[in-house]
C-alpha cells in the first residue's frame, strides 16, 4: 500500500510540473518576433486574409483567453490545429511519435546492454588495461556531441564504405510492399535494422558512456564494503560475490542516471533526427519553430515533458524493486 500511495503522490506532483512547462512554452512562443499567419501568406499579405486566418486559429484573442482555452482543450487531449499543416496537432504527433520512440528505446537498449557489462568489467579489473580503455572510451563518449558522432558514422559507413543507409528510418512493423528492398517480413526487419543502426549508435553513445562511468564507480564502492571483504575472507568466489552480493546493490545510482539521461536522449533525438533526416518528433518541433507553428510547438514540447516526467516516476518507483532497503511507507 505504501508503494501505491507513493506512486499516486508522484503522479499528482507531476501535474504542476507539466502545467509549468505548458505555461512557459506558451509564453515563449508568443513572445517570439513575427507572426505565423504572415509567414504563411508571404511578406505582403492581404489584410482580410490575415484577419480570417487569425480568427480561424484563435490568434485574434487575448493571451489569457487563448491560454485558458488551450488548457481546457489539453485536458480533453485536444492540442489544437496546426497552422502550417492545417491538421490536428495530435494527428501530426501520432504520425511522428513512433519514429522517435523507436529511436530512443533502441538507443537506451544499446546503452544499457553495453554500459552495464563494461562498468562491471572495468570495476573488476581496476587499474588494468581493460579498465583504462573503458574509462577512455567513456570519457570520449561523454564529451562528444551526438550530432558529431552521427556525422562521423555517416561519412565512414555510408559514404566511404557504403554498407549502411544514411537517411530515413524504416519501421519494423511496416508492410513489405511499402519497404524498398524487402519482400518478406524478415526482409523488413533487416532493412529496418540497417536504417536504425547508425542513429541508434549516434544517440546511444552518450548514454552508454554516462551509464558506464556510474556503473564502474558504484561497483567499486560496493566492492570495498565490509560485507564484500567478509565474503572474500570466507573464501566465496569472486564471480559469486559480483553476481549475488555486489551487482544488485550497485544498481541504484545506475537507475538514477538512466532516468536522468531521458533529458539528454530527448535533446539528442532532435539533433539525431535532423542529421539522419528522420521524420520524428525532433524534426517536427525544429521545423515548427522556424514556421512559428505555435500549436505544434506547444504539443510536441508537452509530449516530450510528459515522457520525461513518466520516466522519472518509473525510475523512482523501480528503486523499491531493486533495493529492498528503500521504503515508500507512511513513515516517509
pLDDT at res. 154: 93
Query: Whose CA is closest to 146, among 33, 48, 261, 31?
Result: 261
pLDDT at res. 264: 78
Q: Are 109 and 103 in contact (CB under 8 A)?
A: no
pLDDT at res. 320: 66
d(CA 11, CA 182): 44
Q: Are 267 and 248 in contact (CB under 8 A)?
A: no
pLDDT at res. 329: 56
d(CA 283, CA 237): 52
| Cα-based distances in Å from 160 to 154, 155, 163, 299 | 9, 6, 9, 39
174: left (phi over 0), alpha (psi -120 to 50) or beta: beta
Please write the tens of the pLDDT for every residue from 230-280.
888 888 887 888 877 788 788 888 888 887 787 778 888 888 998 998 988
pLDDT at res. 332: 43
- The per-residue pLDDT of the chain, averaged, comes to 85
Instruction: Give the ranges where the chain is alpha helix by DSSP (H).
Output: 2-31, 36-41, 47-56, 63-75, 89-124, 129-143, 146-153, 185-223, 226-233, 238-240, 251-275, 281-291, 294-322
Lookup: cell for 224: 570495498
> Residue 46 has what DSSP assignment?
-
Q: What is the pTM of this model?
A: 0.84
Query: Whose CA is closest to 293, among 85, 91, 63?
Result: 85
pLDDT above 60 (res 331): no
Range from 27-31, 130-134, 298-302, 312-316 carrying the lowest mean pLDDT:
312-316
pLDDT at res. 42: 66
Beta bridge partners of 181: none
Q: How many residues does the chain have?
A: 332
Q: Confidence class of residue 327 from pLDDT cuts 50, 70 and 90?
A: low
Beta bridge partners of 81: 88
DSSP string, 64-86: HHHHHHHHHHHHTT---B-TTT-
Check residues 15 and 1 and name the one with the higher pLDDT.
15
Q: Are 245 and 212 in contact (CB under 8 A)?
A: no
pLDDT at res. 323: 65
Report the pLDDT averaged over residues 115-128.
90
Please write the tens of the pLDDT for every residue from 28-82.
888 877 777 767 776 667 777 777 877 777 777 888 888 999 999 999 989 988 8
pLDDT at res. 326: 64
Range from 168-172, 302-306, 316-320 carrying the lowest mean pLDDT:
316-320
Amino acid at each position: 500500500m505504501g508503494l501505491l500511495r507513493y506512486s499516486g503522490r508522484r503522479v499528482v506532483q507531476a501535474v504542476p510540473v507539466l502545467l509549468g512547462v505548458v505555461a512557459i512554452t506558451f509564453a515563449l512562443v508568443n513572445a517570439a518576433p513575427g507572426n505565423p499567419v504572415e509567414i504563411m501568406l508571404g511578406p505582403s499579405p492581404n489584410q482580410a486574409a490575415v484577419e480570417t486566418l487569425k480568427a480561424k486559429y484563435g490568434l485574434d484573442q487575448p493571451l489569457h483567453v487563448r491560454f485558458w482555452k488551450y488548457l481546457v482543450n489539453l485536458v480533453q487531449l485536444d492540442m489544437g490545429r496546426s497552422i502550417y499543416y492545417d491538421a490536428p496537432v495530435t494527428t501530426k504527433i501520432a504520425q511522428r511519435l513512433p519514429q522517435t520512440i523507436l529511436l530512443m528505446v533502441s538507443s537506451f537498449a544499446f546503452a544499457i546492454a553495453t554500459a552495464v557489462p563494461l562498468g562491471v568489467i572495468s570495476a573488476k579489473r581496476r587499474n588494468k588495461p581493460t579498465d583504462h580503455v573503458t574509462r577512455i572510451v567513456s570519457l570520449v563518449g561523454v564529451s562528444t556531441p551526438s550530432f558529431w558522432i552521427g556525422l562521423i558514422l555517416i561519412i565512414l559507413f555510408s559514404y566511404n564504405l557504403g554498407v549502411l543507409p544514411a537517411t530515413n528510418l524504416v519501421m519494423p512493423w511496416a508492410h513489405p510492399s511499402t519497404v524498398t528492398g524487402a519482400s518478406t517480413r524478415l526482409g523488413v526487419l533487416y532493412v529496418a535494422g540497417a536504417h536504425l543502426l547508425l542513429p541508434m549508435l549516434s544517440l546511444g553513445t552518450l548514454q552508454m558512456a554516462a551509464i558506464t562511468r556510474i556503473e564502474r564507480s558504484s561497483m567499486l564502492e560496493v566492492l570495498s564494503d565490509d560485507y564484500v571483504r567478509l565474503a572474500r575472507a570466507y573464501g566465496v568466489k569472486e564471480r559469486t560475490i559480483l553476481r549475488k552480493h555486489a551487482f544488485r546493490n550497485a544498481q541504484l545510482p545506475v537507475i538514477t542516471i538512466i532516468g536522468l539521461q531521458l533529458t539528454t536522449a530527448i535533446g539528442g533525438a532532435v539533433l539525431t533526427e535532423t542529421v539522419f533526416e528522420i521524420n520524428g518528433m525532433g524534426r517536427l518541433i525544429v521545423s515548427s519553430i522556424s514556421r512559428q507553428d505555435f500549436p505544434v510547438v506547444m504539443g510536441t514540447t508537452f509530449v516530450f515533458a510528459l515522457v520525461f516526467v513518466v520516466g522519472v516516476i518509473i525510475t523512482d518507483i523501480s528503486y523499491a524493486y531493486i533495493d529492498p532497503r528503500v521504503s515508500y511507507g507512511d513513515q516517509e
